[in-house]
Amino acid sequence: MTPEQIKLVQESFARVAPDAEEASQVFYTRLFEQAPEVRPLFKGDMRDQGKKLMAMLATVVQGLNDLDALMPAIRALAVRHNDYKVEPAHYDHVGAALLWTFEQALGDAFTAETRKAWSEAYGVLAGAMIAASAEAR
């Protein structure tokens, strides 16, 4: 990722973070609409799940400046996702729901450049998780 892309991701996340609970609800609503087959993978309270999602996003967004330092946490997360029966195809659904959520939250501020930056960031994250998940199996 370029420094400009990292900045776009961090700035756009900072605009959404104050409404983290709402953003996570929008995200999961969209995810379950688009991929109802993933709904059974979520067993706990969705509010708690939303808090975990937003906390992990905050960690990732802040860690984009040093991906090498971030990767051990990402790999550990991927291994935990194996226990939840997450499949590689699920990452596409999550990415689409994430981009849609930011588009809804940011409106016109979710520019083509911001979308591309988020796509790149998510691609790095998802790629690392899919690889780590496969390696752990």
Going from the N-terminus, what domains does the chain have, and what CATH number goes with each?
Answer: 3-136 (1.10.490.10)
pTM over 0.75: yes
What phi and psi, each to the nearest 5 degrees, are found at residue 54?
A: -70, -35
> What per-residue confidence (pLDDT) applies to 75?
92
Alpha carbon distance 131, 89 (integer Å): 13
> What per-residue confidence (pLDDT) applies to 82?
85
> What per-residue confidence (pLDDT) applies to 59?
94
- Per the CB < 8 A criterion, the answer to whether 53 and 24 are in contact is yes
Alpha carbon distance 114, 7 (integer Å): 9
| pLDDT of the chain, 137 residues: tens digit per residue | 999 999 999 999 999 999 999 999 999 999 999 999 999 999 889 999 999 999 999 999 999 999 999 999 999 999 888 888 899 999 999 999 999 999 999 999 999 999 999 999 999 999 999 999 888 87
- Taking every pair of Cα atoms in the chain, the longest distance, rounded to a whole number of angstroms, is 42
